[in-house]
Amino acid sequence: MEITGSNYNHFLGKKIGDSVDGMFVGEGDQSLTGYRLEITGGSDLTGRPMRPDLDGSGVKSVLITAGIGYKGDKKVNKKGKTYRYKYDGLRKRRNLRGNVISQETRQINLKIVEAGKRPLGVIFGVEEEAPDNQSSGEEE
């Protein structure tokens, strides 16, 4: 789903782990009104992942082991095939983005913490909304 216009300003300055209201995600009938969402990560315009243990919103060059932003393996070619080996203690310097959402953030990963009244299938148009079975007071 897209976050556009002034709704994007609501996310600026939020950190990974903060919860936000779902009404700022989507537009019109496709907004997640009533839902509570938690920020779990994201990436910037060049694809650098956000890492929860880096403070700030800037890019930092960090020496890391396997985890967010680095798989921790080395590719080796043997006899025409590519294999992945994981050496103990293998670390690599990577450029990663901090845990605060900024103007450079292009993707925000969210998870649902509290569900709203309308099911997600109805909001995304996968399911039809069930009609209300309220009788008008007349018995048949």
Q: Where are the domains of the chain?
A: 6-62+98-123
Distance CA 33, CA 30 (A): 9
Instruction: Calculate ∠ Cα 63-69-70, nearest 5°.
Output: 70
Contact 26, 33 (CB under 8 A): no
This prediction has a pTM of 0.74
Q: What is the pLDDT of residue 26?
A: 79
Per residue in 54-106, pLDDT (tens digit) is 999 899 998 888 878 888 777 888 898 988 877 778 888 889 999 999 999 99
**Cβ-contact 110, 23 below 8 angstroms:** no
pLDDT for residue 8 is more than 90: no
Confirm if 101 and 108 have CB atoms less than 8 A apart.
yes
Greatest C-alpha distance within the chain: 80
> How far apart are the C-alpha atoms of 76 and 78, rounded to whole Å?
6
Rounded distance between C-alpha atoms, residue 2 and residue 117, angstroms: 21
- Our CA angle for 22, 5, 35, nearest 5°, is 5
Contact status, residue 110 vs residue 25, Cβ threshold 8 Å: yes
